[in-house]
Amino acid sequence: METLKQLLSFGNRKLPKTTAIFNLSPAAVCPSEKLGLCSLCNKCYAKKAERLYPQVLPYRQAQMDYWLRTSAMQFAMEMIIINESKRNKVNALRFNESGDFHSQTCVDKMEEISRLLWKAGITCYVYTARKDLDFSKCKYLQVNASGFNKAGVSAQFIGIVNAKQAAMEYRLATNKKAAVCCGDCKKCSICQYVKNTVIFCEMH
């Protein structure tokens, strides 16, 4: 069985090397899609990667297996040990490049991991379409919700064509905070800390 060290990736074309990435499930078995909660299934980039690159699906399946069999304490302690051994330290952990929460238990577990890693200087953030789950107890986990807002959600993401125009219209209509995703997390870390904000993402 794989260890967390074997199942973490660090950075990608858009994310800096100081951000670790871990998925709760592959896109092929995404809980949000199965429940009919994801509005972007037909444009899912994670599905595309699993179709194009044969190694991606089994890798994400191994991540899911690890997640389901590991406690919050074990996950956090392994993450801290891994980071201590790295020359370039991680300061953020992104959950769900693909997939989503399996259940409420996963939300509670991720919040506990976030609390433990926050003490070690690592911010945890997640993307989710699981509007059926309760995030009201999430104090350390940055919850970025896809198209919905409720207690415990940090930011609401909306995928749309002409995101800049949509953000401007939203601000004028509601007098509330709105931002536009720049598409490059090496330049922007708003997803890790922003609160009570709608973030519009350009669909392509």
* Residue range 54-72, pLDDT digits in tens: 899 999 999 999 999 999 9
Is residue 106 scored above 80 in pLDDT? yes
What are the E-state strand segments in the chain?
9-10, 19-22, 92-95, 123-128, 142-146, 155-160, 178-180, 197-202
pLDDT computed for residue 204 by the predictor: 66
User: In this structure, are residues 194 and 179 in contact, taking their beta carbons and an 8 Å threshold?
Assistant: yes
Split at pLDDT 50, 70, 90, the class of 116 is very high
**CA 191, CA 43: separation in Å to the nearest integer?**
21
Record the pTM.
0.91
**CA 145, CA 136: separation in Å to the nearest integer?**
13
Q: What distances in angstroms separate CA 150 from CA 97, 137, 140, one per listed residue?
A: 22, 12, 16
Split at pLDDT 50, 70, 90, the class of 170 is confident
Which two three-digit tokens encode residue 36? 């009919």
Coil vs helix vs strand at 158: strand
**CA 132, CA 35: separation in Å to the nearest integer?**
10
